[in-house]
Structure 1
């Protein structure tokens, strides 16, 4: 789905990625990110969020926590990140994104609470009293009073398997008093995930029962005299969804795939955000009428369900005629439980595919769970694309160095 979207809405990214790969400046097994498009997307989201009075925290895990992207987000007006785990927050900070939200989805381990507090997060989510006490103690040791968000659960709320946990929403008033009583912390608000979900049947995004649980809990808290409340409501965040979230009482949103135009909604409707990421690889070898493409980053987020995958193969003929003429071929993707050393591409007897040819995929990524690299490309919109740097999937410097800084014209 996203390959078709890229070909239609951002062919310049495909052209730049292919040129940079063929020149040796973009390695195989690398997610190429259109830095200019991400900047425009971030500005669009932040402008609408500001209009609605929403705090905006960027989620960068799906981008491999790329520090060049983090810097561009700051330049575009999104200055804080949500750390899906502690490592994510640290990596985002290396690119200049301050920590807006810590502890959600992943709680902070007991003996890393001090490291979490050292980031001085604006908000810290806790799932239970033990985690609240750890966050408070670590913050008190630094002379800080930490704003805590309580993750609530209602009887009819929906969670992805393995994401469960939190405080019973029915006890929210007493919970708020308990958190306020902690030395080093104060109760600041409530959160859940997902607050919105893509509805495949209706091809749109809908709010969830989880968000209704937050709204009901907020009403209880206001009745108890708590009027300064934060409602953190992440999930499928696009500019098109922000007004509905604000109307539902949300005060914080956390765009992730919205920054690269790869939410499920983007797959079925042209939204304000542009597609801004493509996975780039190359043909390693030919065997039994198949082209074997280097893997390492071939994790396709399953949120849209299992579907077939295709890739653009940039043959020598396509180099002369342009990317639009390059064949789009089906890929025999590795099984989800397999290690993705390679992905075979059945050739059906064609003989124009050669070792070293560029191969480009468009799918919804989660780079941080892969062995893939990332590279932010600047200057695509001006016709002078340049790789700003190549990074490992956790945002750190890769083990292999790459000479990437010259422009390709």
Structure 2
């Protein structure tokens, strides 16, 4: 899927990454980022957000909270991040990218609230219930400021990934807003959900979920109650071509993640303004039973896609040629991905040390892969900027 798009739209990225690996500058088991393309993508998204009057925050988890990624996004004009959890907040803060939005998708644990307020002072803090609102407000009060609170809302028929459920009853939003205004150290600032947009495989289009209508109905109720200025945070499957529709639906905030490196589901079926800027690179370890085993650690096939045949470019030298494409068997999610198995029963025979390049919809933060930022690809002068773990911390590589 994404490898086909990479080969066609950013082939120089593939060859640069393979050359850097073969020269010993990139480790096996790495998500590699084209920082030039990331910066250009961020600039495209920021320009479109500005045109539509949207605040824009960068989601960094998919790129492993990489510090060089954060800095490329900032150079592209997106100044602040949305932190999916406290690990994201710590990593982006450490990289010099302020936290604009905290608490969504993951709430802040009670014992971390004080540190979150004192260290990050997020512009917005999402809460799912009154208890979490009081924790956020008390922490902000101790830190000497009043926290803008976003209420995560839900209604019958809304769409949530399993394990993502939770929030206030949307039908009670006026009372919820009044309650959040009474929180010491807090104030009601607006509403949020996830996902507001979702890729539909049948039509190969991104469509609004019922959640977006829930946000609209809640906003209308708040307006009727006299609240004219509220924030409407509507993340999900964010590309620049979708921002006008979000704004027309009433959204005031957007939060691109995979869009920053051109790997949303829509990027597979349409050539969007954002270039693909992430690949997964590893190395052949050994051969056994007609298979070439390559090092794992970063294999993550996003379950939003139906099963599909996985292929990799496998070669001892940089190439994007179709002759180097080989089928790969990846262990199921229930197994530890120490290795994946490449078909070695073809005319193109893999050998230990060969580079293997894959294209995935990145979610580096749930893997044990390295994350490598490379600059200069667009000018033909590739340079490794950072080699970090999936929490944005400098990796001890090579040992």
**What range describes the TM-score normalised by the shorter chain of this pair?**
over 0.9
Can you give the 5+ residue segments of structure 2 that lack an aligned partner in the other structure? none
Which residue matches 2:359?
362
Q: 1:94 deviation in Å? A: 1.4
Which residue matches 2:231?
230
Q: 1:352 deviation in Å? A: 3.2
Deviations along 1:182-217, whole A, 9 cap, x unmatched?
110100000000000001111110011101001000
Which residue matches 1:337?
334
Q: 1:259 deviation in Å? A: 0.4
Which residue matches 1:128?
129
**Matching of residues 232-247 of structure 1 within 5 Å:** 232-247=233-248
SS of 1:387's partner is: strand
Q: 1:326 deviation in Å? A: 4.9
Which residue matches 2:203?
202
Which residue matches 1:371?
368
Deviations along 1:330-382, whole A, 9 cap, x unmatched?
00111111100000112115463211000000111210000000111100000
SS of 2:82's partner is: strand
Deviations along 1:268-302, whole A, 9 cap, x unmatched?
11111000111010100011111000000011211
Which residue matches 2:79?
79
Q: 1:324 deviation in Å? A: 2.4
Which residue matches 2:60?
60
Q: 1:116 deviation in Å? A: 1.3
Deviations along 1:137-182, whole A, 9 cap, x unmatched?
0000011100000000011111011000000011100110110011
Q: 1:306 deviation in Å? A: 2.1
Q: Is residue 74–residue 96 contact of structure 1 (8 Å, CA) maintained in 2? A: no
Q: 1:92 deviation in Å? A: 1.0
SS of 2:377's partner is: coil
CA distance in 2, matches of 1:401, 1:152: 47
Q: Is residue 331–residue 343 contact of structure 1 (8 Å, CA) maintained in 2? A: yes
SS of 1:330's partner is: strand
CA distance in 1, matches of 2:258, 2:29: 20
Q: 1:308 deviation in Å? A: 1.6
Q: 1:395 aligns with which of 384, 392, 396?
A: 392
Q: Is residue 280–residue 359 contact of structure 2 (8 Å, CA) maintained in 1? A: yes
Change (3 A) 1:383 1:351: closer
**Matching of residues 10-409 of structure 1 within 5 Å:** 10-118=10-118, 119-315=120-316, 319=318, 322-324=319-321, 326-350=323-347, 352-401=349-398
SS of 2:180's partner is: helix
Change (3 A) 1:138 1:353: same
Q: Is residue 37–residue 276 contact of structure 1 (8 Å, CA) maintained in 2? A: yes
CA distance in 2, matches of 1:166, 1:153: 6
- Count of residue pairs brought into register by the alignment: 398
CA distance in 2, matches of 1:389, 1:365: 18
If the length of structure 2 is used for normalisation, what is the TM-score?
Answer: 0.98
SS of 1:296's partner is: coil
Q: Is residue 84–residue 106 contact of structure 1 (8 Å, CA) maintained in 2? A: yes
Q: Is residue 313–residue 326 contact of structure 1 (8 Å, CA) maintained in 2? A: no
SS of 2:373's partner is: strand
SS of 2:46's partner is: helix
CA distance in 1, matches of 2:396, 2:289: 33
Q: 1:399 deviation in Å? A: 3.4
